[in-house]
Amino acid sequence: MIQVPLYKICLLGDGGVGKTSLRERFLGKGFQSGYILTIGADFAVQDLDIEGIKYKFQIWDLAGQQRFSAVRALYYKGSHGAILVFDRTRPESLLNLDVWKRELFTNVGRQIPYILLGNKSDLDNTIEQSILDNFIRRSQSEITDIPYQIKCLDTSAKSGLNVTEAFTLLAKTIQGYIEEYRRIKGK
């Protein structure tokens, strides 16, 4: 089995969108229905085997409340990728991802690859597909560094829908991004 470097990733999005629940589900800890506020940041390390390659994720779950924004800046440094999470029942949580993208790129110091997760897909979806499609199209047009395709998955931390698939998708996106960087930069 091939061992790849550790990928530092950030889970970003408004408070209450399910970032911690997604992380806990990915770690194999199941789902808890009570909402526990993340203070500042929390992290975990998890391995994932994909097609014979062992990926190691250092997952930084950053607090979604605005009052923690000053503390969050420290945790972005050295990130290889991100998962931007929105709540399928709260349209404003999708629109607020613009703020999260700016904070991510400002604090990392450059663009890095990310994927989008529409969490709580087990509940009634109130986000129109056209709004999501427009958000993805606009986000795609903002990529000015190394080109990659922004992907979006519906997830449910409660049922486990697409949780492992999300981390698999992010690993492949980061790997593709690194390969494209090397191709473009000649490294």
Could you give the domains of the chain? 2-181 (3.40.50.300)
Residues 70/39, Cβ–Cβ less than 8 Å: no
Q: Which of 139, 144, 136 is nearest to 118 (CA)?
A: 136
Chain segment 135-160, per-residue pLDDT in tens: 999 999 999 889 999 999 999 999 99
Tokens of residue 20, six digits: 């911690």
Average pLDDT value for residue range 107-116 = 96
Q: Is pLDDT of 37 > 50?
A: no
- Measured distance CA(147)–CA(177) in Å, rounded: 7
pLDDT band at 93 (very low <50, low <70, confident <90, very high): very high
pLDDT band at 39 (very low <50, low <70, confident <90, very high): very low
What pTM does this model have? Answer: 0.89
Helix and strand totals (H; E) in the chain: 6, 6
Phi and psi torsions of 19, nearest 5°:
-60, -50
What is the per-residue burial (b if ≥16 Cβ within 10 Å, else e) of 28-51? Answer: eeeeeeeeeebeebbbeeeebeee
Q: Which of 42, 16, 9, 23 is nearest to 120 (CA)?
A: 16
- Measured distance CA(10)–CA(58) in Å, rounded: 8
Q: Which helix (H) or strand (E) holds 111?
A: none
Q: According to the model, what pLDDT value does residue 67 have?
A: 44
Q: In a 10 Å sphere around its CB, with 0-12 CB exposed, 13-18 middle and 19+ buried, how is residue 186 labelled?
A: exposed
Q: To the nearest whole number, what is the mean pLDDT of the chain?
A: 87
